[in-house]
A and B are shown apart, each in its own frame.
Chain A
């Protein structure tokens, strides 16, 4: 059993190293230096070091092109006086002198030393009993030998000066010499152009066993490890063993269960899949041109049972590509069988909360007592699409102070002839009730009306601006002109008439082919998101001043950074699904760039 301390260290180390790798990828891409592209080509250059990693390893991180990470680590922008890391930078005089001496002995500067040390890749692994090993492949054996001699000699001299001769120990195991320069706190060995580091002697010996036996007993010989590596791909990959994953995914002791139905609808399929199996978990990062991809893959099949509602029954089915409308900020396409979801609600969220009871009561009113599972949820098919788009405000009405994006959800009806009327009636009842409630509070109500657009009549509800004196600073409610429209077999619920009309045009195009193996596709346009953030600059800054207690200047800086990040991340796409029957996810940023063509999940 792994102790909790070990678990934390494993997670922290993994997160820190992966974070550093990803930060490096992003930073290099941001700087648009020529070597950012060199970094991309690194995977081909990486030498697999996993033939020396014992198969008992719980988590393994392989970094190809680690020399570029080193370059980044010594970048003044990263290590400068005002940088995040500067507080940990060793600044003692002794260290500086030692470093200068080392540079003199090795005939190169300190960054170059590190560069040559890890040039052909680094693999870090954590094992049982809080053990860690690292294997790095240097540029050449001579360099490594010389470096080792310098370090051992210098440490011996220092130890002798301090009368601590047992600090440096040299021994041999399986014909390989290994050293400790810290009285057993860490061990290392040099074999040709590879250096092995370990925090415990048994861990070092396990590595030496692997190399002596030509990789026997190493991770490289395990099929599941190779499968994980293959599934993750990328220049930096983290693979978590089945044992560790089982431990991490252990259910909470109090048996706490997700009770939010919306969260269950969106996530249950994935959380259950990640918890159900005990196979490996792998994370990969890659950069191709301006496209940064992060890929998570798990060795677990799509689950059956209560959460089967989120997985297509047929292998060639899946979520549809997202709808394309002008000024689109974000879009989400889901494959969710609402009928099956609601039919298993007692298993998925067994507690009948007051919100759930309220929801069912209201739906009972809106849908005239129809059976919610069979006659309402069952009346739409599993392809659900959501669109969020920037609004353009009609000068005749005015502009709200807070500019909310328009949003809409599009369902596909199984029986449009029947359900179109039922959904229209429900919508009108809902907005009638909104008006009644607002009337009770002496607040302005919405005017329910119908409108013809492109040969189609749809219903909408909007507030009249006639009594509003300050048209450029309208209340937030003027962001909404809620509408319901029926376009053939599609049902649109939208927050604005403008988006409804854009969707009518989009839905009249030929039906798309489903994305095989994908059951959720989210895309966000960073540039447009940045635009919305900029449009709402003042309310957001003020909100942050209150929420975070910031001064205006700090809140403005934070907001500017957020806008810069949104612009930098360009077009982001998240695919979730089960290609080849195994649960996986892929997050891609087309940095600075426009949207790429929507595709099924990339096969590793």
Chain B
């Protein structure tokens, strides 16, 4: 199985699979259009929809209020209604990847800004995303980086950045930790606001990943993003998101994609390669939908919007509380979504969503679209 483009016959099953993985789900008309357009055009449209996504997101941004349940509700609503579902799916992926949660940030406005940052860079360049992340107050608060004095560089924060966001465990030396911490000195978060104290910066030379210079946080992001260990981690994480979480992919499978990703750090291109690939449509491609994917998938398939304020609370009970990933590692995902309690909860949720009169009004139970749900 390789990353070569998919050549198998294009049918309803494969089209539905594509939409489930890359757009939460598809309604009848989306499926019909995908079947007539073929896979290449459909994937291109998922990556770059014709609709005015920026205008939609501006409208949604204006609605977002500053309480956690409401933020949660608005994001779910956005996922259900967006003309660019892949963007929301990847934003949700990055939300889990960086694992920044309100329980550690304690500022709804910072959480709102954090998710907007993720959305802005979700399908862009990874170095730009990491550059925004290392200047995001929510990340500092979540990863223990509120204070970075020159007199006592915050090595804990530096270790979190290396361990969870970039190269990963076993891929950095003690020197990387101390000098990364030095690169962040003078940048603090006070009262929920970013503070840059130039007099507290350590302007001396630092050696990070074997390169020496007067590095700043942005330099760290640039250096870390290009590390082979980082690109491999990103490719593996996206493989788990889009293709399969049943078994870890072999290094042979990951390596070519990681190398091409390292060349331009283009997340959108990486996702496109995965979606076009033969492996994406292969039978072992299995994963467990997260509670958010499950609920939003049903709503998008049926083409309806449901009350998202209570839905957000219900999804939190099923283990996925938007804006509150449990740790910096995000949600464990996979089979961890399923236990004796959540499987009952999922059944109830689906029953309730399908029992909604509005949902039934919107869908014909005899239609293939309904059966897909």
Measuring CB to CB, which residues of chain A are less than 8 angstroms from any residue of chain B? 441-444, 475, 539, 542-543, 545-549, 551
Q: Is the CB of A542 within 8 A of B191?
A: no
Q: Is the CB of A443 within 8 A of B191?
A: yes
Q: Measured between alpha carbons, how far is A525 from B21 in the docked complex, in Å?
A: 54
Q: Is the CB of B63 within 8 A of A549?
A: no
Q: Which residues of A have CB within 8 Å of B305?
A: 549, 551
Query: How would residues 79 to 97 of chain B score, 1 for a CB under 8 Å from any chain A CB and 0 otherwise?
Result: 0000000000000000000
Partner pick for A442 among B65, B73, B191, CB 8 A cutoff: B191
Partner pick for A444 among B77, B191, B310, B358, CB 8 A cutoff: B191
B266 within 8 A of A: no
Most buried by B among A443, A545, A546: A546
Q: Measured between alpha carbons, how far is A392 from B2 in the docked complex, in Å?
A: 68
Measuring CB to CB, which residues of chain B are less than 8 angstroms from any residue of chain A? 63, 65-66, 70, 73-74, 77, 106, 190-192, 304-310, 358
Give A548's nearest chain B residue, CB to CB: B307
Give A443's nearest chain B residue, CB to CB: B191
Q: Is the CB of A549 within 8 A of B358?
A: yes
Partner pick for A441 among B77, B106, B309, CB 8 A cutoff: B106
Q: Is the CB of B308 within 8 A of A546?
A: yes
Q: Is the CB of B106 within 8 A of A547?
A: no
Q: Is the CB of B192 within 8 A of A546?
A: no
Q: Which residues of A have CB within 8 Å of B306?
A: 549
Give B306's nearest chain A residue, CB to CB: A549
Partner pick for A539 among B65, B74, B77, B192, CB 8 A cutoff: B65
Q: Which residues of A have CB within 8 Å of B192?
A: 442-443
Q: Nearest 9 pairs between A and B by C-beta? A: A549-B307, A546-B73, A546-B309, A549-B306, A442-B191, A547-B309, A549-B305, A548-B307, A542-B63
Q: Measured between alpha carbons, how far is A422 from B308 in the docked complex, in Å?
A: 47
Q: Which residues of B have CB within 8 Å of A542?
A: 63, 65
Give B305's nearest chain A residue, CB to CB: A549
Q: Which residues of A have CB within 8 Å of B309?
A: 546-547
Residue pairs across A and B with Cβ atoms less than 8 A apart, 28 shown, are A441-B106, A442-B190, A442-B191, A442-B192, A443-B191, A443-B192, A475-B66, A539-B65, A542-B63, A543-B70, A545-B63, A545-B77, A546-B70, A546-B73, A546-B74, A546-B77, A546-B307, A546-B308, A546-B309, A547-B307, A547-B309, A547-B310, A548-B307, A549-B305, A549-B306, A549-B307, A549-B308, A551-B305
B49 to chain A, nearest CB (A): 21
Q: Measured between alpha carbons, how far is A19 from B196 in the docked complex, in Å?
A: 66
A537 to chain B, nearest CB (A): 13
- What is the count of residue pairs linking A and B with beta-carbon distances less than 8 angstroms? 32
Q: Measured between alpha carbons, how far is A542 from B69 in the docked complex, in Å?
A: 13
A243 to chain B, nearest CB (A): 39
B195 to chain A, nearest CB (A): 12
Most buried by A among B65, B70, B308: B65
Q: Which residues of B have CB within 8 Å of A441?
A: 106
Q: Which residues of A have CB within 8 Å of B308?
A: 546, 549
Q: Measured between alpha carbons, how far is A543 from B73 in the docked complex, in Å?
A: 10
Q: Measured between alpha carbons, how far is A603 from B320 in the docked complex, in Å?
A: 59
Most buried by B among A444, A475, A543, A549: A549
Q: Measured between alpha carbons, how far is A547 from B72 in the docked complex, in Å?
A: 12
Q: Which residues of B have CB within 8 Å of A444?
A: 191
A29 to chain B, nearest CB (A): 33
Q: Which residues of A have CB within 8 Å of B307?
A: 546-549
Q: Measured between alpha carbons, how far is A273 from B73 in the docked complex, in Å?
A: 43
A436 to chain B, nearest CB (A): 15
A1 to chain B, nearest CB (A): 35
B57 to chain A, nearest CB (A): 16
Q: Which residues of A have CB within 8 Å of B65?
A: 539, 542
Q: Which residues of A have CB within 8 Å of B73?
A: 546
Q: Measured between alpha carbons, how far is A475 from B66 in the docked complex, in Å?
A: 9
B109 to chain A, nearest CB (A): 9
Give A541's nearest chain B residue, CB to CB: B63
Q: Measured between alpha carbons, how far is A75 from B191 in the docked complex, in Å?
A: 62
Q: Measured between alpha carbons, how far is A547 from B74 in the docked complex, in Å?
A: 10
Q: Measured between alpha carbons, how far is A539 from B190 in the docked complex, in Å?
A: 29
Give B76's nearest chain A residue, CB to CB: A546
Q: Which residues of A have CB within 8 Å of B70?
A: 543, 546
Q: Measured between alpha carbons, how far is A453 from B365 in the docked complex, in Å?
A: 69
Q: Measured between alpha carbons, how far is A246 from B306 in the docked complex, in Å?
A: 42
Q: Which residues of A have CB within 8 Å of B310?
A: 547
Q: Which residues of A have CB within 8 Å of B304?
A: 549
Give B307's nearest chain A residue, CB to CB: A549
**Further contacts, 20 of them, CB under 8 A, given A542-B63, A546-B77, A551-B305:** A441-B106, A442-B192, A443-B191, A443-B192, A444-B191, A475-B66, A539-B65, A543-B70, A545-B77, A546-B74, A546-B307, A546-B308, A546-B309, A547-B309, A547-B310, A548-B307, A549-B305, A549-B306, A549-B307, A549-B308
Q: Which residues of B have CB within 8 Å of A543?
A: 70
Q: Which residues of B have CB within 8 Å of A551?
A: 305
Q: Which residues of B have CB within 8 Å of A547?
A: 307, 309-310
Q: Measured between alpha carbons, how far is A438 from B310 in the docked complex, in Å?
A: 28
B138 to chain A, nearest CB (A): 13
Q: Measured between alpha carbons, how far is A549 from B303 in the docked complex, in Å?
A: 13
Q: Measured between alpha carbons, how far is A546 from B307 in the docked complex, in Å?
A: 5
Q: Which residues of B have CB within 8 Å of A475?
A: 66
Q: Which residues of A have CB within 8 Å of B74?
A: 546
Q: Which residues of A have CB within 8 Å of B63?
A: 542, 545
Q: Measured between alpha carbons, how far is A549 from B305 in the docked complex, in Å?
A: 6
Q: Measured between alpha carbons, how far is A542 from B306 in the docked complex, in Å?
A: 14
Q: Measured between alpha carbons, how far is A443 from B308 in the docked complex, in Å?
A: 29
Q: Measured between alpha carbons, how far is A264 from B106 in the docked complex, in Å?
A: 35
Give B359's nearest chain A residue, CB to CB: A549
Q: Which residues of B have CB within 8 Å of A539?
A: 65
A550 to chain B, nearest CB (A): 8
Q: Measured between alpha carbons, how far is A475 from B306 in the docked complex, in Å?
A: 28
Q: Measured between alpha carbons, how far is A543 from B70 in the docked complex, in Å?
A: 8
Q: Measured between alpha carbons, how far is A444 from B77 in the docked complex, in Å?
A: 31
Q: Which residues of A have CB within 8 Å of B191?
A: 442-444
B27 to chain A, nearest CB (A): 16
Most buried by B among A441, A443, A542: A542
Q: Measured between alpha carbons, how far is A221 from B182 in the docked complex, in Å?
A: 96
Q: Measured between alpha carbons, how far is A73 from B116 in the docked complex, in Å?
A: 55
Give B67's nearest chain A residue, CB to CB: A476
Most buried by B among A442, A443, A543, A548: A442
Q: Which residues of A have CB within 8 Å of B190?
A: 442
B167 to chain A, nearest CB (A): 31
Give B299's nearest chain A residue, CB to CB: A549
Most buried by A among B190, B191, B358: B191
Q: Which residues of B have CB within 8 Å of A546?
A: 70, 73-74, 77, 307-309
A166 to chain B, nearest CB (A): 43
B43 to chain A, nearest CB (A): 30
Q: Measured between alpha carbons, how far is A578 from B336 in the docked complex, in Å?
A: 61
Q: Which residues of A have CB within 8 Å of B358?
A: 549
Q: Measured between alpha carbons, how far is A542 from B77 in the docked complex, in Å?
A: 11
Q: Measured between alpha carbons, how far is A539 from B65 in the docked complex, in Å?
A: 8
B107 to chain A, nearest CB (A): 8
Give A542's nearest chain B residue, CB to CB: B63
A404 to chain B, nearest CB (A): 14
Q: Measured between alpha carbons, how far is A441 from B106 in the docked complex, in Å?
A: 8
Q: Measured between alpha carbons, how far is A548 from B310 in the docked complex, in Å?
A: 9
Give B308's nearest chain A residue, CB to CB: A546
Q: Which residues of B have CB within 8 Å of A549?
A: 304-308, 358
B206 to chain A, nearest CB (A): 29
Give B358's nearest chain A residue, CB to CB: A549
A132 to chain B, nearest CB (A): 32
A370 to chain B, nearest CB (A): 35
Q: Measured between alpha carbons, how far is A442 from B194 in the docked complex, in Å?
A: 13
Give A444's nearest chain B residue, CB to CB: B191
Q: Which residues of B have CB within 8 Å of A545?
A: 63, 77
Q: Measured between alpha carbons, how far is A121 from B224 in the docked complex, in Å?
A: 87
Give B189's nearest chain A residue, CB to CB: A442
Q: Measured between alpha carbons, how far is A546 from B358 in the docked complex, in Å?
A: 15
Q: Measured between alpha carbons, how far is A590 from B46 in the docked complex, in Å?
A: 58
